[in-house]
A and B are shown apart, each in its own frame.
Chain A
Amino acid sequence: MSEFTFLYRGSDPSGSPEQMQKTMQKWVAWFKELGASGHIKDPGHPLERTGKVVKGNQKSVHDGPYAEAKDVVGGYTLIEAKDLAQAVELSKGCPILEVGGSVEVRPIRILNM
């Protein structure tokens, strides 16, 4: 088994309360399915949309990140999968894809000493 992160980008949740509840229920169902098949290492956390960005040798502190809404990482999850192909397959169930968001699937590099 290898580990991967799913980085969720974009998709400010919006719509009528009923639509939001439906979207919410899709996430719950998707997570349940991932969990039941033993693929969730850590459900992860949502991230606030803004914070600070610290840059360079001067360690200058900026507000941000001011990326486009669709590029902001809204949260992450740690996934266990056989290989990248399987992790990608798992990510395809993510409801964020239905509302114009994206999932970035990144293998976690484990150092073999």
Chain B
Amino acid sequence: MELSDHLFRREAGRMVAALTRVFGVHNLALAEDVVQDAFCRAMEVWRMRGVPENPSAWLMATAKNRALDVLRRQRTARTFAPELGRLLESEWTLAPVVEELFAANAIKDDLLRMMFSCCHPRLSEEAQVALMLNILCGFSVDEIAGAFVSSHAAIEKRIARAKKIFSGSKRLFDVTAPAEFSKRLPAVQRALYFLFNEGYHGASPETAVRTELCHEAIRLGVILLDHPLGGTPSSYALSALMCFDAARLPSRVDASGNLISLFDQDRSLWDQNLVLKGLKLMELSASGPELTEYHVEAAIASIYSTAARAEETNWQTIVSLYDTLMTICPSPIVALNRAIAVAQRDGPERGLEEIAAIKDRDRLSAYPFYAAALGELELRSGREDAAREHFRTAQGLARNPMERRFLDRRMEACDRPGNGAA
């Protein structure tokens, strides 16, 4: 029996979610210990006796048995999940109750409960995402620090603080209360999108690391869709958007780790399965009266992802979608992307005008792709010197070596007049 990729990591999330449900949110650390213990047992036994037929079930059964041990041994010294109360105190009910809580369906809800609990309103988005990665996705502090290009100490502190707030809440989030659910849903969606973008645009130089973050976000999105209250049109739109963008991941970076602009990407590398999945999800998102930013962004991404060649992109539609997006959630970044689409439609000079007209343009000054966009449009207008200056500014702001190398090559393009193509 071979272990599937990331099985331990995935199972860590499922086990800790189930155990926290049984032990109570204040015993998160205990749940994590039991998970670690289950992995140690698996290691010791499997490495000699081979991996069992169903490794997930083995791990879950080990965690369950260990949970029963702990509950029996510590029930007088500790309090466990308050909502289970006396059920855990009597031998008559203990085993059947725990058995029920470890059933596959119960665990699916536990994951969702955990996801919502991690998006505690007192936590920043960064903290919510770090907590989700740690608890639900089984990433260690070091792995999260690597993905966020942050120091071990900074992430450790962020997670420790988040866990304190998490464990301090009286109980896990109640996913059966519709009003509460809808109130927190936007925060959960934002956190998932944040996680996805951290992978998509993030600073980690390792493509593999970033791809994993994207896929974790998609995976958590599926858990959300599987729940009757979670599968809202906006959740479908968010999942669609993530699928479209993820479809292009294989071509965003070439074999030597260079960032490739959308126009130059090898479109044959795009994951057509994900594009199809995205289209299906987008269809499901088209119901109800609400048009969210996810709907519009998914629509834009779908146009990029379904154009067989860059020249076939329908810029007219993209510009009007950006117009809509500007009415739903106006921001300088959205305006910049809109201006770039206008440039594609009407030429670089028009694009530059649009950029010059962006309100709060100064808020873009630290964003490398603002200067890079100016450089690109100046270059296409035949003003190489101005373009080079903008690329130089962008390079000073670049967040990682990959972005720096990309801008290097754009500066080189300025030395070859007439070579405006990205």
A→B interface (CB under 8 Å) = 12-21, 23-25, 27-28, 31, 43-46, 74-75, 77
Contact = CB atoms under 8 A, between A and B. Distances in A.
Contacts, number: 75
A45 B138 CA distance: 28
Interface in B30-76: 36, 39-40, 42-51
Interface in B1-53: 2-3, 6-9, 11-12, 36, 39-40, 42-51
Nearest to B141: A16
A21 B9 CA distance: 8
Contacts of B370: none
Contacts of B46: 24, 27-28
- The majority secondary structure among interface residues of chain B is helix
A18 B48 contact: no
Nearest to B43: A13
**Candidate in B7, B48, B138 with the most chain A CB atoms within 10 angstroms:** B48
24 contacts: A13-B43, A14-B40, A15-B140, A16-B9, A17-B8, A17-B9, A17-B11, A17-B39, A17-B138, A18-B8, A18-B139, A21-B7, A21-B9, A24-B42, A24-B46, A27-B43, A27-B48, A28-B2, A28-B50, A28-B51, A43-B48, A43-B50, A46-B49, A75-B44
A17 B43 contact: no
Given A14-B40, A24-B3, 13 more contacts: A13-B43, A16-B142, A17-B11, A17-B12, A18-B140, A24-B42, A28-B51, A31-B48, A43-B50, A44-B48, A45-B49, A74-B44, A75-B47
Contact of B48 (A12, A14, A20, A46): A46
Given A20-B8, A21-B7, A13 B48 contact: no
B143 interface: yes
A21 B48 contact: no
Could you say which interface size class chain B belongs to? Answer: 20 to 34
A12 B40 CA distance: 8
**Candidate in A12, A16, A19 with the most chain B CB atoms within 10 angstroms:** A16
B48 A24 contact: no
Contacts of A74: 44
Interface of B: 2-3, 6-9, 11-12, 36, 39-40, 42-51, 138-140, 142-143
Contacts of B6: 18, 21
Closest 10 CB pairs of A and B: A16-B140, A27-B47, A17-B8, A21-B8, A13-B43, A46-B44, A17-B138, A17-B12, A17-B9, A20-B39
Contacts of A27: 43, 46-48
A45 B6 CA distance: 26
Nearest to A11: B43
Contact of B143 (A12, A18, A75): A18
Nearest to B42: A24
Contacts of B42: 24
A74 B47 CA distance: 11
B39 A13 contact: yes
A27 B3 CA distance: 12
B43 A24 contact: yes
A27 B46 CA distance: 9
Contacts of B142: 16
**Candidate in A17, A18, A74, A77 with the most chain B CB atoms within 10 angstroms:** A17
A44 B142 CA distance: 34
Contacts of A28: 2-3, 46-47, 50-51
A15 B140 CA distance: 8
**Candidate in B2, B7, B39, B139 with the most chain A CB atoms within 10 angstroms:** B39
Nearest to B139: A16
A25 B49 contact: no
B44 to A, nearest CB: 4
Given A43-B49, A75-B48, A77-B48, A20 B140 contact: no
B44 A25 contact: no
